[in-house]
Amino acid sequence: MKVEGSTYPLDPLVRVMEGLLAEDGCPWDREQTHLSLRRYLLEESYEVIEAIEEGDMHKLCEELGDLLLQIVFHAALAQARGEFSLTEVVEGITAKMIRRHPHVFAAARVKDSAQVQVNWEEIKGQERGRKEGDTVLAGIPVQLPALMRALKLQEKAARVGFDWDSAQGAFAKVEEELLELKEAADREDAAAVEEELGDLLFAVVNVARFLLVEPETALTRTNAKFTRRFRYIEGVARQEGRDLKDLTLAEMDKLWEQAKENGKLCEKPPREAGD
C-alpha cells in the first residue's frame, strides 16, 4: 500500500546514507554488510532500552535516531543489490499493522487485550501459511537473549493451555528445580548442574510471567543496581588510597550495606580528589 502525504519523511536521512555508500563516500560504510552490522543493531537496541529505563527523553530521542539509522543502513544495502527498498519496508510494516488490527481498521470486535494477542497470533499464522502439524512454538528467533526466548516459549505454550493454574504452581516448580540443582551439585555432576541450572532459570521466568514482570528487564535493573553499589565500594577504596583487593570481605560488605541503605549513594560513588 502507498503512504500518501507523509508527515515524517525519511528522505534526508536516506540521501545521507546514499552519499556514505557512494563510490566517493565513506570507506568504512562501504565495507559493511548485513552481517557486519549485526552488532551495531543490537547495541543501539540496548541503548534505546537503557534510555527508557533511565526515563531520559532527550537520550531516548537520540538513541531512537541511532536505531533508525541502522534500519536505513540495512535498507540501503539491500536496495543497492536490488533486493528491497526502504519504501517497501515502510509499506510492508504499515500493511501488516492494519491487517493485524482488524478491531481498529475493520469490523472485528475484541473484549480485551488478551483477545487482541490471540487474534494477532492467528493472523500471523495465516500470513505465514501455517499448516496442520506446524509447531505452536514457530516464529521465536533463536538469537533472542535466553531469558526473552524462554518467556516467548512459555507464552506461546500457555495460549494453548499448557500452563500452571496459578502462580503457586510456578513457585513450587522453582523450589523443585532448586532442590534438583543442589542434588546435582552435591554429586559434583557438571553436566547435570548445567542442565538443572537451566531448568531453574526457566522456572524463574515462569514465575516472572505470572507476576507480569519482564524477566530481561528485571535482571537488567539488578545488574545496574549491582554496578552502582559496587562502584561505590570502589570509590571509597580510591578515596582512602587503598587497592580494592586490600579490603576485607567484611569491609566490602559494610560499604555495600551503606550503598544499599542510602539511595543517593547508590546513584553515585563518592567524589574523589580532583573531581
Instruction: Report the distance separating Cα 228 and Cα 213, nearest Å.
Output: 22
The 10s digit of each residue's pLDDT in 211-245 is 999 998 899 889 888 998 999 999 988 898 888 88
CA angle 152, 158, 161 (to 5 degrees): 160
pTM given for the model: 0.65
Per-residue burial over 157-181, b = 16 or more CB atoms within 10 Å of its CB, e = otherwise: eeeeeebbeeeeebbebbeebbebb
For residue 223, which amino acid is it? N
For residue 221, which amino acid is it? R
Is the separation of the CB atoms in 118 and 159 below 8 Å?
yes
273 confidence band (pLDDT: 50, 70, 90): very low
Whether 167 shows a pLDDT value over 50: the answer reads yes
Q: Is 21 exposed, middle or buried (0-12, 13-18, 19+ CB in 10 A)?
A: middle
The 10s digit of each residue's pLDDT in 3-36 is 456 678 899 999 999 999 999 999 999 999 999 9
269 confidence band (pLDDT: 50, 70, 90): very low
Is the separation of the CB atoms in 101 and 124 below 8 Å?
no
Instruction: Report the distance separating Cα 146 and Cα 275, nearest Å.
Output: 40
Q: What integer pLDDT is reported at residue 133 of this predicted model?
A: 59
Looking at residue 246, the DSSP 8-state letter turns out to be: G
132 confidence band (pLDDT: 50, 70, 90): low
